[in-house]
Amino acid sequence: MLLRSSPKHGYMLLQEIERHTEGGWKPSHSAIYKLLNSLEEDGSITSWEEKDGERTRIVYKITDEGEKLLEASEKMYELYMNAFISSLLEAKEDLQGDFITVLLTDKGKELRKYLAPERRYKLLSQLKSYLDVEAVQLDSELDTLKKELDAVKTAAR
C-alpha cells in the first residue's frame, strides 16, 4: 500500500510505516528487507538501484501483479469489516458505553465507512440517540454542579 503512491527505498518505507501507525509499529530494518525480498520474489514489487550522492539505494515499486493483489486484499478486508461490524450490531441492538467509545475514535469512524448504507444508518441513528440521552444527563449534572458551586461561593462571602 505504501508503494502505491510512488517508488520508495527501504528507509523511506520504515518512516512511512511509523507515521501511518503513529509509532505503534517500528519494524526492524531486517524485517522490512525480508518482507521486501519476499514480495519481490512473488512478483508483487520490483526494485532497482539508484545513486544518492555516494550512497546506492535500492528503490522499490509495486508491480501490476502487486496492484491486483492489493486490490483483492482491500476488497476482502472491506467484506470482513462489514461482516464484523454487522455481527456486533446484531449482538448489541442497544449500544453500550464501550462500544460507543470505540465508534467515536478515529479507528471507529474509519470502520463505520465499511458498513452497508442501511447498517451505517441504523448504527448512526442508535449512536445519536444514545448521545442525545447522555447530553441531557450531562446538562442536568452541570446545572446541579453550577448551583452547588454558586452556593459555596455565596457561603464563602
pLDDT at 90: 62
Shared domain check, 100 and 150: yes
Residue 33 resides in a domain: yes
Three cell numbers written together for 122: 441504523
pLDDT at 66: 93
Shared domain check, 55 and 17: yes
Residue 73 resides in a domain: no
Per the listing, cell 522499490 goes with: 60
Within its chain, how far is the Cα of 66 from the centroid?
22
pLDDT tens for each residue of the chain, 157 residues long: 688 889 999 889 999 988 888 888 888 889 999 999 999 999 999 999 999 888 999 999 999 999 999 888 888 887 777 677 666 666 555 555 566 667 777 777 777 777 778 877 887 887 788 788 888 989 999 999 999 999 998 998 7
Residue 80 resides in a domain: no
Closest CA to 111 of 129, 127, 135, 94: 127
Residue ending a domain, choose from 62, 79, 101: 62
* Cβ atoms 89, 121 nearer than 8 A: no
Tally of domains in the chain: 2
Shared domain check, 98 and 57: no
Residue 146 resides in a domain: yes
pLDDT at 95: 54
Residue 34 resides in a domain: yes
d(CA 123, CA 118): 9
pLDDT at 96: 58
pLDDT at 76: 83
Residue 86: in which H helix or E strand, if any? helix 64-91
Domain, as residue range, for 28 = 8-62
Shared domain check, 49 and 104: no
Residue 81 resides in a domain: no
Phi–psi pair at 9, nearest 5 degrees = -90, 170
Residue 71 resides in a domain: no
